[in-house]
């Protein structure tokens, strides 16, 4: 996915939205555009002619764009799980903690988009991921799917594209400036890297204090 180039002699890198200095950006020589690569637990917002790229296994990515404001973003997250849950139970305290993390993953990105002039009533929303790729956690992709679709419904945000589930990892390329998405289903030989990355991420969020410094907005 990464061409290895961080600069281009002709095309200037789009102006960076403040707060995203830690995100890896590069010139994609195949698609002739600047790109930002996000990893599990990250999100990125841009107002430039820029692609946002990631690879998903069980995780979910939501792409949101306000075409009038010219701002768009994409996240990459999964719900933490204690392992013993085979279905979502919104009344269970452990899953409620997971829900708070999912809310954080969505609302921090939405807040960042709105800070750059985005309006919720103009949002174009697309959802990807939730594949069944983690052994012994066969329902985690489905839990992620159910959460994000429920969240979007509660927020009154309609989806214009949804590609979720199945057993395949996905490579997602979001052309943020025009709202188009390219999705490639990856073969099984890619699974081990994706599984290792997602298990590391899952371990991190299992031990994170989900009560700390999370401000939800109406």
Angle between helices 140-154 and 93-115 (to 10 degrees): 50
Of the candidates 33, 59, 63, 92, the residue annotated as catalytic is: 59
CA distance 120 to 118: 7
DSSP E strands in 114-179: the ranges are: 124-129, 159-164, 170-175
Query: CB neighbours (10 Å) of residue 4?
Result: 7
Look up 59 and say whether it is catalytic: yes
Give the DSSP H or E segment for 65: strand 60-66
Q: What is the DSSP letter of 9?
A: S
User: Which residues are catalytically annotated?
Assistant: 59
């Amino acid at each position: 996915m990464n061409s290895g180039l961080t600069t281009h002699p002709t095309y200037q890198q789009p102006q960076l939205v403040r707060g995203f200095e830690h995100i890896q950006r590069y010139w994609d020589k195949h698609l002739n555009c600047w790109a930002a690569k996000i990893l599990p637990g990250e999100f990125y917002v841009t107002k430039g002619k820029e692609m946002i790229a990631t690879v998903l296994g069980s995780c979910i990515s939501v792409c949101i764009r306000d075409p009038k404001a010219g701002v768009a973003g994409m996240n990459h997250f999964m719900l933490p799980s204690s392992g013993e849950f085979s279905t979502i139970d919104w009344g269970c305290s452990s899953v409620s903690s997971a829900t708070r993390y999912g809310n954080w993953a969505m609302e921090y990105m939405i807040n960042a988009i709105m800070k750059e002039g985005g309006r919720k009533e103009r949002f174009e929303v697309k959802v990807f991921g939730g594949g069944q790729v983690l052994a012994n956690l066969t329902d985690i992709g489905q839990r992620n799917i159910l959460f994000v679709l429920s969240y979007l419904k509660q927020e009154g945000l309609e989806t214009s594209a949804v590609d979720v589930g199945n057993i395949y990892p996905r490579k997602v390329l979001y052309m943020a400036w025009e709202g188009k998405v390219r999705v490639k289903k990856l073969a099984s030989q890619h699974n081990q890297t994706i599984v290792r990355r997602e298990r590391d991420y899952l371990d991190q969020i299992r031990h994170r204090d989900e009560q700390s410094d999370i401000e939800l907005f109406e």
